[in-house]
Amino acid sequence: MYDSIVVGAGPSGGSASYHLAKRGRSVLLLEKESLPRYKPCGGALSPIIQEWFDFDFSPAVSLKLNKINYTWQMGSPEMVEIATKEPVWMVRRDIFDHYLVQQAQKLGVELRDRTNVNGIEWKSDRWLVKTDNDVFEAKYLIAADGAKGQMSKWLGFKEPKRRKGVMLEVKADLSQQVGQNLFADKLNSNFDFGSMQNGFVWSFPKADGYSIGSTTFMGNEKQDLFEICSTYVNHVGLEKAEVEQSEHPICLWNGNQSLHTQNALLTGETACILDPFTAEGIRPSLFTGMLAGQAIDEAIAGNADALKQYTLKVHEEWGADMAWSQRIAGIFYRVPSFGYKMGMKRPSATQRMGKILCGEMRYRDVAGAAINRLTKGLIPGMG
């Protein structure tokens, strides 16, 4: 019997496994796919996560960026350099996730990929985790199987709202010039507003091309996101490039909820921790995984409130900030042309957002002034 079984080998599952094993606990990590595996994701990641681990992530980082390029309806580029201590990392999730799991394996984590979990059962004092071929036992259970997973449902939690996201992986030679001069400097993250409702199109470069995608953050989900992204690809001169497209669900943060139950925790997107303004998810997944590992270690050591404290800490450290993010999103996406003018056209606002994404600032540090500025501009006579 294991101290803990972790279901899902994404960032939160890998992080939880690593931090449990680091504390000497026995861990079984189950993953239905064969690692390394492709995962639709923009791959933008704050370097602050390095502080949470005692190994070097450099081998898993594709590029480092310190500039953001904004456009409105695919025109009028606005370039801003973000003044952060470290550039934003760009990672490919097949490489990054597998690298993290490999570090956990070095500490003794047992990985079983190509293993589909088809049910769980609490029996007396332990969890039984049922797979297609075996049944495993553990004192504690971590649900890290993401937006597509069934673990939260099996554990008795309310079904999360799943929004649709789309991804286009574009193979491109970044040494070649591409159209419209939007990618004149290839090593930028690019955000286009105004081409879709209640969201934006984003493009992040990797070593061998671009990850281009979009989602809606509120309301209207009937838009053809693939068509919008394809129009963007053509507009920037990549219409002849090799393109692979995929659709995937995402679970945005939508208010604090309990993340613990009988000897079990939810982490990562299973816990709906995606930023409701930007859809950032890797950093909070790694963070909640780390907190989950610490909490279960403390529970095994005799702290009867450790799992409850995990929920409270996630609420305090992440949920409180996401409440501010959600308020900003509600105003910004309602009238995006004004939000774009007051936000993306102001270099100072972009630099603050860069610091938020890099973990150097919190939404709570800037939200009051931002909401006040946006609200005044929307009320007649207040602008």
Any residues with CB less than 8 A from the CB of 33 and at least 6 apart, and which?
113, 114
Q: Is the pLDDT of residue 380 over 70?
A: no
Query: Residue 375 pLDDT > 80, yes or no?
Result: no
Run of H or E including 341: helix 336-342
Among the residue ranges 37-46, 164-173, 374-383, the one predicted with the least confidence is: 374-383
For the stretch 235-288, pLDDT in tens is 888 888 899 999 999 999 999 999 999 999 999 999 999 999 999 999 999 999
pLDDT band at 86 (very low <50, low <70, confident <90, very high): confident
What is the reported pLDDT for 362?
A: 86
Mapping DSSP to helix (H, G, I), strand (E, B) and coil, where does residue 81 land?
Answer: strand
Comparing 186-190, 263-267, 313-317, the range with the smallest average pLDDT is: 186-190
Residue 124, pLDDT score: 93
- Decide if 211 contacts 203 (C-beta within 8 A): yes
More confident residue, 90 or 381: 90
State how far the Cα of 297 lies from the Cα of 321, in Å rounded to an integer: 26
CA distance 345 to 70: 8
Query: Mean pLDDT across the chain, nearest whole number?
Result: 89
CA-angle at 64, arms to 62 and 66, nearest 5°: 155
Q: How confident is the model at residue 381 (pLDDT cuts 50, 70, 90)?
A: very low
- Here the tokens at position 233 are 């690809």
Cis preceding linkage at 36, omega within 30: yes
pLDDT at 361: 84
Q: If you search the block for the tokens 């995984």, which residue do you land on?
A: 289
Angle at 370 between CA 369 and CA 375, to 5 degrees: 100
Tokens of 324: 């501010």
Say what the pLDDT of residue 73 is.
92
Whether residue 279 contacts residue 257, with contact meaning beta carbons closer than 8 Å, is answered with no
Residue 357: is its pLDDT beyond 80? Answer: no
pLDDT tens, position by position, 18-28: 999 999 999 99
pLDDT tens-digit profile of 276-294? Answer: 999 999 999 999 999 999 9
Q: What is the pLDDT of residue 68?
A: 85
Q: Is the model's pTM score more than 0.75?
A: yes
pLDDT one-digit tens code per residue, 87-104: 889 999 999 999 999 999
CA distance 118 to 22: 28
In DSSP notation, 22-41 reads HTT--EEEE-SSPSS-----
Residue 285: C-alpha distances to residues 65, 190, 282 (Å): 21, 23, 5
Nearest to 356 by CA among 5, 80, 83: 83
The Cα-based distances of 91 to 120, 208, 238, 306 in angstroms read: 33, 12, 21, 33
> What is the C-alpha to C-alpha distance for residues 317 and 287, in angstroms, rounded to an integer?
10
Q: Which among 15, 76, 6, 3 has a CA at the least distance from the CA of 282? A: 15
Percent of the chain with pLDDT over 70: 92
Given pLDDT bands bounded at 50, 70 and 90, which one contains residue 355? Answer: confident
Segment among 27-36, 132-141, 214-223, 226-235 with least mean pLDDT: 214-223
132 within 8 A of 115, measured Cβ to Cβ = yes
Tell me the per-residue pLDDT of 20-51, one tens digit each, with 9 for 90 and over: 999 999 999 999 999 999 999 999 999 999 99
Percent of the chain past pLDDT 90, that is, above it, reads 68
| pLDDT greater than 80 at residue 163 | yes
Write down all domains in the chain, each with its CATH number in brackets.
Answer: 2-61+88-161+252-324 (3.50.50.60), 163-250 (3.30.70), 334-378 (no CATH)
Flag whether pLDDT at 296 surpasses 70.
Answer: yes
Strand partners, 209: 171, 206
Predicted local confidence at residue 382, as pLDDT? 32
